[in-house]
Amino acid sequence: MPIDNSWAPEGRNCNQTPASHFPLSLLAMGSSLEVESSSSSSSYFPEEEKEWGGRVAEKVFSVYNSLPKKGKPQGREVTVLAAFLLSSPSQDLEVVALGTGTKCVGRSRLSHRGDIVNDAHAEIIARRALLRFLYAEIQRLNDNLNKQGQVETRQLQADGLKNSLFQSDSYGSGETKYRLRAGWKLHLYISQLPCGVASLNSASSIDEHGHSAFELSDALRANSGDCSQFIGLVQRKPGRGDATSSVSCSDKIARWNIVGVQGALLSYFLQPVYLCSITVGKSPYVSEDFFLAQQLKRSLYDRIMHLSDELIKPFEVNKPIFCAAAVPEKEFQHSQTAQTTLTCGYSITWNKFGLHEVILGTTGRKQGTSAKGAVFPSTESSLCKKRLFEIFLSLRQDCKIKYSSNEVSYRELKDRAGEYNSASKLFKGKPPFHNWLVKPLNLENFSINS
């Protein structure tokens, strides 16, 4: 059965389909998500949603299983798998970026050169692989336009770019950026509930030592012995003996539902890119689909919905539809007691344009990096800030940024993304995100010769 993209949920990239085109079962589901209920029936998800979750998972695992064993869990090891998929106007569904992993770099190992990957959790690895995919799409689009010359640009946009992911979009200030073409929708799959608020009371919130797999920020932990009153606030991912500066995946995904998944630098080129659906693999220890849906809605949407009247276009509160998929394969099933499984230390990253690397999550560098060679460029992952910054600078003429010198810092260019930063500051300035962890500024002050 072909995928019907009219199933797509409410949200910036999905609201082009009139409500009258949505199946009644999905409209009913959207309404039921607004109301707290004690129902635990496995029939909570309409049949179309169950089929959608199954199709998404099938696509993701098909790609994952095609990859070499390098970096995959061995023996008792388990990991988390995440992937981004695109659905097209022709109803095709394709995985475009994928990541695995459960580790982070501790504070003492953070680099001021931007040459390591700080957060190697699956969702974050997959998103960075997605960023490289989006950069490649923009480069391909720009190359096609430049080949045609100014005279033929209009005809090219009308004829030659019909299959492009993006189209140009002018708005208020007269500035032109790209946005997803009508009918193209972005989806996220995760093999289990994301760490942090969404994982409370689930097996995925326990690490291999039986401890909580997230922590409140230091300031809150110091001021209160009872953390129950802070449920819903920003959580920090723990490190093994070395605290991290990375916030939980629940908090980061909630932020994507405000500012988009593209980040600050890509916002020079793109309008916000929002998720249309989030599909999560069910836990073997919790049979109720309703629990999963409510956890996702509460952590990824309810906490941000109060910002809807304060955001300025093109930013808005995005509401994806939350779907369940079948319990994933054994290597993605974390033990409920955290005593029979170990978390794999490696992260695999892949995208459809040829990216494929294995990263050691606790160092943020490529697998096989020796202690002596740890600062060599050859050890740097394609996902680190430095490498993504290089891609951005390679497109600098297209974004028409004026530099004050031959060098410009990563932090400076992020700060110049005015509209994006306004939305981000609004998000971080309001409860429950006002305790968002702030990294030392010197960690992003690195520059690259332009």
Give the distance, in angstroms, between the CA of residue 364 and the centroid of all CA atoms in the same chain.
18
17 pLDDT more than 50:
no
Cα separation of 260 and 245, whole Å?
21
Cα separation of 423 and 258, whole Å?
7
Q: Which of 97, 91, 94 is nearest to 59 (CA)?
A: 94
Does residue 235 contact residue 249 with C-beta atoms inside 8 Å? no
Residue 412's pLDDT is: 92
pLDDT in tens, 137-172: 998 888 777 766 554 444 545 444 666 799 887 765
220 pLDDT more than 80:
no
CA atoms within 13 A of residue 84's CA, in its CB half-sphere: 28
Residue 151's pLDDT is: 46
Residue labelled with tokens 């959790």: 121
Report the chain's mean pLDDT, rounded to a whole number: 80
Average pLDDT over residues 15-35: 34
Average pLDDT over residues 164-190: 85
pLDDT in tens, 187-206: 999 999 999 999 886 544 44
| DSSP, residue by residue, 219-238 | HHHHH-S--GGGTTS-EE--
Torsion of CA 89, 92, 94, 96, to 10 degrees: -20
Residue 202's pLDDT is: 53
DSSP state of 428: H
Return left, alpha or beta for 151; rule: phi > 0 is left, psi -120 to 50 is alpha, else beta: alpha
100 pLDDT more than 80:
yes
Residue 218's pLDDT is: 44
Q: How far is CA 287 from CA 40, 180, 194, in A?
A: 9, 36, 17
Catalytic residue at 48?
no
Give 427 or 223, the one with higher predicted confidence.
427
Residue 290's pLDDT is: 72
Average pLDDT over residues 98-117: 95
| DSSP, residue by residue, 317-366 | ---PEEEEE----GGG---SSSSS-EE-SEEEEEETTS-EEEEETTTTEE
Q: Which of 379, 360, 325, 397 is nearest to 146 (CA)?
A: 397
Phi, psi of 102 (to 5 degrees): -140, 5
Other C-beta atoms within 10 Å of 145: how many? 18
Average pLDDT over residues 234-238: 90
Cα separation of 73 and 71, whole Å?
7
70 pLDDT more than 70:
yes
Residue 147's pLDDT is: 67
DSSP state of 44: G
Other C-beta atoms within 10 Å of 383: how many? 26
The region of weakest confidence among 1-15, 28-42, 145-159, 290-304 is 28-42
314 pLDDT more than 50:
yes
323 pLDDT more than 50:
yes
> Which of 47, 51, 123, 419 is the catalytic position?
123
pLDDT in tens, 373-418: 567 888 999 999 999 999 999 887 665 556 555 678 999 999 999 9
pLDDT-derived band at 76, boundaries 50, 70, 90: very high
231 pLDDT more than 80:
no
Residue 104's pLDDT is: 95
Residue 132's pLDDT is: 98
Residue 31's pLDDT is: 30
Average pLDDT over residues 93-110: 95
pLDDT-derived band at 371, boundaries 50, 70, 90: low
Helix (H) or strand (E) holding 189: strand 185-190
Cα radius of gyration rounded to whole Å, the chain: 21
DSSP state of 385: H
Residue 200's pLDDT is: 82
pLDDT in tens, 245-286: 999 999 999 999 999 999 999 999 999 999 999 999 999 887
Instruction: Name the 3-class secondary structure at 119.
Output: strand
CA-based angle 254:256:262, to the nearest 5? 165
Does residue 46 contact residue 28 with C-beta atoms inside 8 Å? yes
pLDDT in tens, 419-430: 999 999 999 999
